[in-house]
A and B are shown apart, each in its own frame.
Chain A
């Protein structure tokens, strides 16, 4: 992995309150859920990133310019648990781009 350009910094606070800081590439088409899984965080990503489950549910705490929420994502968050109407997003719908540099998220409680 040392040849891949690492571009942005993402901080994820897990369900025990432990902070994890990652350097992540923006040129691999990764999303936040995949980043968490690749780094062994307890994010199941059951549906593989299709916005069909809520196992990658996060609370966004920073002010980054996030991609607009799609109908599919909204439908899932509608039925998810522990949702915060302002901060809740699905990690799989947050593609890692320059705009997400400095992103800070908390993993939502396990709703499954």
Chain B
């Protein structure tokens, strides 16, 4: 069980910077994020885009900002639970919160800082009416272990790098691999497109373009997909697995059920300290809402700074916090926490 002072939900820029500000006042942090890497929207959506409104940086690539933040917080040895979605929270007898992820990992902390951004990134599901019925029964949105598909028949849908790369990879593992795409051209890396075309010519991959999956049939598990061609009508194709790879989009997710006041997919906070209606739980960055709120990274940085002061007082109600400047004191890091 992970124990820490501040459990941060979301490892985007604001969650990451929280570690720094918390560290200056000797509070330890652990971050949980559904993505497999830190950086949030910056890493997932726009790593190569320049950002112009980070104070002190006339221009900085989003990915570089994440790298800088990771370096900045290194002295404070934050822990990370990545690739897992924060699922449920429970108040324990000692007043601390226990946060459990969707993979069952448990974390204990007196304070939770929700830096969830726009919500947690989840796979975009194609608009097939009964797709939910086949989830984990033949429909998967993420390929965790390619061996799962060994000697199975697989249909992949999508036109980007993910769809192309997995088609290439599974060509040697699956018994049958079929790639279905709505258009005739693909938007992935040219190299990958060429490889797929080549594999199709060799008969190792079945390529169906100008087509979409419009239906799924099966009883206790997936049995066939229904493919609709732009001009040639519909046909059924027997398969064991359907893997739609249409990228990720953010959803509020389980946060919506944590008893927090939420307006328009954002958590209402008190601008004194960015606390929510639940004592010990704060919300910073794009995920929060207050009059005049601007969804800017620099605003999230400010909110993180104010929030940790309040968190300190919440955790140590009798202690006095003296304000220190880093120019006077430097940055005194922690030893690595025992995991």
Is B one of A's binding partners? yes
Residues of A whose CB lies within 8 Å of any CB of B are 46-47, 50, 52-53, 55, 74-75, 78-79, 81-83, 109, 111-112
Distance from A13 Cβ to chain B, minimum over Cβ atoms (Å): 20
9 A-B residue pairings within 8 Å (CB atoms): A75-B187, A78-B159, A78-B187, A79-B124, A79-B158, A79-B159, A81-B124, A111-B127, A112-B124
Residues of A within 8 A of B36 (CB): none
Chain B facing A: main interface SS: loop
Distance between Cα atoms of A112 and B46 in the complex (Å): 18
Give the shortest distance, in Å, between B120 (CB) and chain A (any CB): 13
B45 touches A52 (CB 8 A): yes
User: Would A50 and B46 be within 8 Å (CB), given that A79-B247, A81-B126, A81-B127 are in contact?
Assistant: yes
A52 to B62, CA, bound (A): 14
Taking a contact as CB atoms under 8 Å apart, the answer to whether B45 and A109 are in contact is: no
Q: Are A112 and B182 in contact (CB under 8 A)?
A: no
The answer to whether B183 and A78 have CB atoms under 8 Å apart is: yes
Known interface pairs A52-B46, A53-B249. Does A46 touch B118 (Cβ–Cβ under 8 Å)?
yes
Whether B46 pairs with A79 at a CB distance below 8 angstroms is no
The complex places the Cα of A112 from the Cα of B249 at a distance, in Å, of: 7
How far is the CB of B105 from the nearest CB of chain A, in Å? 27
B187 close to A46 (CB less than 8 A): no
Cβ-defined contact, B249 with A78, below 8 A: no
Whose C-beta in chain A lies nearest to the C-beta of B44? A52
Chain A residue numbers with a CB within 8 Å of B250 are 46
- Inter-chain CA distance A47–B44, complex, in Å, is 11
Smallest Cβ-Cβ distance to A71: which chain B residue: B187
Interchain CA distance A55-B159 in the complex, whole Å: 18
Q: Is the CB of B124 within 8 A of A111?
A: yes
A47 to B159, Cβ gap below 8 A? no
Question: In whole Å, how far is A104's beta carbon from the nearest beta carbon of chain B?
Answer: 24
Additional pairs, 10, CB under 8 Å, beyond known A47-B45, A75-B160, A81-B124: A46-B249, A53-B45, A55-B249, A78-B159, A78-B160, A78-B183, A78-B186, A79-B247, A112-B124, A112-B249
Which partner residue on chain A sits nearest B230 by CB separation?
A: A85
Interface string of B152-179 (1 = CB under 8 A from A): 0000001110000000000000000000
B207 to chain A, nearest CB (A): 16
Please give, as numbers and ranges, the residues of chain A lying within 8 Å of B251 by CB-CB distance.
112
List residues 126-151 of chain B with CB under 8 A from any CB of chain A: 126-127
Give the complex CA separation of A54 and B186 in angstroms. Answer: 17
Main SS at interface, chain A: loop
- Give the residue name and chain of the B residue nearest to A81 (CB): B127
Bound CA–CA A50/B45 (angstroms): 10
In angstroms, Cα B26 to Cα A15, docked, is 51
- List of B residues within 8 angstroms of A75 by Cβ: 160, 187
Q: Are A79 and B246 in contact (CB under 8 A)?
A: yes
The distance from the CB of A79 to the nearest CB of chain B, in whole angstroms, is 5
* List of 6 A-B pairs having minimum Cβ-Cβ separation, nearest first: A75-B187, A112-B249, A78-B187, A78-B159, A52-B45, A81-B127
Check B160–A79 contact: CB distance below 8 A.
Answer: yes
Please, which residues of chain B bring their CB within 8 A of the CB of A81? 124, 126-127, 246
Flag if B46 contacts A47 (CB, 8 Å): yes
The answer, yes or no, to whether B49 is at the interface (CB within 8 Å) is: yes
Q: Tell me if A82 and B249 are in contact (CB < 8 A).
A: no
Residues of chain B within 8 A (CB-CB) of A55 are 249
Chain B residue nearest to A82 (CB atoms) is: B127
Across-interface contacts of A109 in B (CB, < 8 A): 127
Q: Complex: how many Å from CA A61 to CA B255?
A: 39
> What's the Cα separation between A55 and B250 when bound, in Å?
11
A46 cross-chain contacts in B, Cβ below 8 A = 118, 249-250
Q: Provide the residues of chain A in CB contact with B158, threshold 8 Å.
A: 79
Complexed CA–CA distance, A74 and B186 (Å): 11
When each residue 28-62 of chain B gets 1 if its CB lies under 8 Å from chain A and 0 otherwise, what string results? Answer: 00000000000000000110010000000000000
Question: Measured between alpha carbons, how far is A79 from B186 in the docked complex, in Å?
Answer: 10
CB distance from A29 to the nearest CB of B (A): 15
Complex-state Cα separation, A78 to B187, whole angstroms: 8
Q: Which chain A residues lie closer than 8 Å to B249 at the CB level?
A: 46, 53, 55, 112
Neighbouring B residues of A50 by C-beta, 8 Å: 45-46, 49
Set of chain A residues within 8 Å of B45, measured between Cβ atoms: 47, 50, 52-53
